A and B are shown apart, each in its own frame.
Chain A
């Protein structure tokens, strides 16, 4: 209950801050949306840092490092340090100058004017908002996951049993969304900037404490990393260590024996071993005795004695069933010719509800209960009852096939340089560029941004990598097939005291909320400026009405996002990369609009349409981000999309009539003689 109380107090403080900021508001829609351009360098820096340090940076990077290893930092963090600041320099200052000269507040206003096209706004508005939604989704989804994980055991009512007696993720997501909405609504841009600064500082302090506590619990920095070097050396580099490959092959062979044994006994109803042999197998078994350990012991003996006689087709069916994958109505002919390799098995969809069988299967559910109750009240040393997450974890770890060690290819690594280009088209940053008080306020973000990224990402990546080899008594702290989005919260809640867990998770929520708030406000501004005021006319709505319309649109978008968060969860990292890739794919447009006179209106349309068409096609093809290893030509899809949209833009621009010189003069003024 303690972590829940701490989180509630924190959320209360945040609401008070938002309401406090509203007292300073001048009440106009301009003040609400843009704080009347009065945000200074410190708030701008904190705000930009806060909006960059997201669920993606914390929950996503830790989970992805747990899965893929330290290469994750190089994939996005170091490249972002170079590319983001480059975009500030190359795009931001020029855009600021146009914002100052012509009074733009949104990127659509800029593109409408630059391209002399009203309809470009109609095309871009749903695309930009649509791409922000997965980004919001990351925050909303992560908030629910971390709140639920850290409040495990907070309630006694059986109603909460499906969520391990903690806050259901759906409720956690809802509450966080509402809190952010409230302080955004009352505080506007000013409240958001204040809240961001406050939350960024909270997060930085608590982040350092979290890192220190986790490393200390794992025996110190050296012991934690040394354990990885011994157990999972591939996590310390970007290729697969021979030791890991050998371990995987051994584990896979054992698992195949288990699958074949189960197929013979359960499907073909054959008695593979005599009762005496079974007794001998159980007596000889040396592994941990939980889950399906008896079947494992028997399968090992049966394999040793060469009793697992199945055809190739039967073996492949056995693997599909053991791995809870969906058996196709018509089995491919190739299944009768060769054994399915690990990656071929991965391509067959898994039954999404399969692991829930663990809660009703006596083999797995005998220790299930309230995680704060003793297994044996007469002997507390036996430990606590198992949470549903733990039962499910044991089911997956003992029943499913071992996870193959993963690696990153050089081409894939290089192609990730295209992803941070997204910063050039992210609506909230674009708005900051257009409306900043002075260009000088960009200096600090340009210099400090790479350092801020390093400060947040390096500890997260290390924690994620350490999680692969951390032990909780005799068992791994994070079992195989664990939800990577919950790695950080699991480490925090397992390692620290309840009070500290609450504080640390408040820090994580601070980072999540500090990116949600500015996105909420940004899409509200876009809707009112680019649609409502643009088409309705400036005098049609009062200032108050504009604010109400903005809020209504924000609520509608949050409702859509919340609805999506209730669907099957996706990897936070994958979803984030898809959002970034989408914005990156339109990067050629903003670059050309600032530096290429020959850009034409049809060229711009070609760029945007080809970018979004490729994004939709690839996104669907990747099972809506479900396939986290999805590549196009062996590269991150962003590379193909940026290059493709750039080619479309250049070709169409060159074959269409150039814009008139008088118009271009506004954006490419001749340098004065003086």
Chain B
């Protein structure tokens, strides 16, 4: 799952380049420029991916080790 999370990060970076919307001035819902909506989606997607990262890729081992060391030292 950890690798899936990092793949999703790479996907976000690729999707952010949206060259396919370069000269598209469509207003979605009559007010939202499509390129702005796309990038708003990237921001929401980023929040979801980072949420997954905190669950599946959080470096618990490192953190626990440091906490143990600091508690042992006090």
Binding site for B on A (CB under 8 A): 70-71, 73-74, 77-79, 81-82, 85-86, 89, 93-94, 96-97, 100-101, 220-222, 224-226, 229, 233-234, 236-239, 241, 410, 413-414, 417, 438-440, 443, 446-451, 453-454, 458, 461-462, 465, 672
**A446 to B53 Cα, complex, angstroms:** 9
When distances are taken between beta carbons in the complex, the residues of chain A under 8 Å from B12 are: 82
When distances are taken between beta carbons in the complex, the residues of chain A under 8 Å from B43 are: 77-78, 81, 450-451, 453-454
When distances are taken between beta carbons in the complex, the residues of chain B under 8 Å from A85 are: 46, 50, 53
Query: CB-defined interface of B11-35 with A at 8 Å, one 1/0 digit per residue?
Result: 0110011110111110101111101
Q: A70-B33, A77-B39 are in contact. Are A97 and B66 (CB under 8 A)?
A: yes
Contact A450 B27 (CB under 8 A): no
Contact A73 B39 (CB under 8 A): yes
**A609 to B16 Cα, complex, angstroms:** 32
Q: A74-B35, A79-B16, A443-B54 are in contact. Are A94 and B42 (CB under 8 A)?
A: no
For B70, the closest partner residue in chain A by CB is A100
Contact A74 B39 (CB under 8 A): yes
For B59, the closest partner residue in chain A by CB is A93
Contact B47 A81 (CB under 8 A): yes
B44 contacts the other chain (Cβ, under 8 Å)?
Answer: yes
* Selected contact of B9 from candidates A86, A94, A221, A410, CB within 8 Å: A86
**A450 to B33 Cα, complex, angstroms:** 19
Q: Count contacts on B: residues with CB < 8 A to the other chain.
A: 42
When distances are taken between beta carbons in the complex, the residues of chain B under 8 Å from A234 are: 25
Q: A81-B42, A93-B59 are in contact. Are A236 and B50 (CB under 8 A)?
A: no
For residue A105, give the distance in angstroms from its CB to the closest CB of chain B. 15
When distances are taken between beta carbons in the complex, the residues of chain A under 8 Å from B13 are: 82, 417
Contact B25 A101 (CB under 8 A): no
Contact A413 B17 (CB under 8 A): yes
Contact A97 B63 (CB under 8 A): yes
Q: How many A-B residue pairs have CB under 8 A?
A: 137
* Selected contact of A462 from candidates B29, B36, B46, B50, CB within 8 Å: B36
For A444, the closest partner residue in chain B by CB is B54
Contact B23 A237 (CB under 8 A): yes
**A566 to B42 Cα, complex, angstroms:** 39
**A391 to B7 Cα, complex, angstroms:** 56
For A242, the closest partner residue in chain B by CB is B23
* Selected contact of B50 from candidates A74, A78, A229, A450, CB within 8 Å: A450
When distances are taken between beta carbons in the complex, the residues of chain A under 8 Å from B29 are: 222
For B26, the closest partner residue in chain A by CB is A236
Contact B70 A237 (CB under 8 A): no
B40 contacts the other chain (Cβ, under 8 Å)?
Answer: yes
When distances are taken between beta carbons in the complex, the residues of chain B under 8 Å from A462 are: 36
Pairs of residues from A and B, 6 with the lowest C-beta to C-beta distance, nearest first: A450-B46, A221-B31, A454-B43, A236-B25, A222-B30, A78-B39
**A448 to B12 Cα, complex, angstroms:** 16
When distances are taken between beta carbons in the complex, the residues of chain A under 8 Å from B32 are: 225
Given known contacts A225-B32, A226-B27, A454-B40, what 7 new A-B pairs fall within 8 Å (CB)?
A70-B36, A73-B36, A410-B19, A417-B13, A438-B67, A440-B63, A454-B43
For residue A251, give the distance in angstroms from its CB to the closest CB of chain B. 20
Most buried by B among A70, A239, A413, A453: A70
For residue B49, give the distance in angstroms from its CB to the closest CB of chain A. 8
**A96 to B12 Cα, complex, angstroms:** 26
When distances are taken between beta carbons in the complex, the residues of chain A under 8 Å from B27 are: 222, 225-226, 229, 236
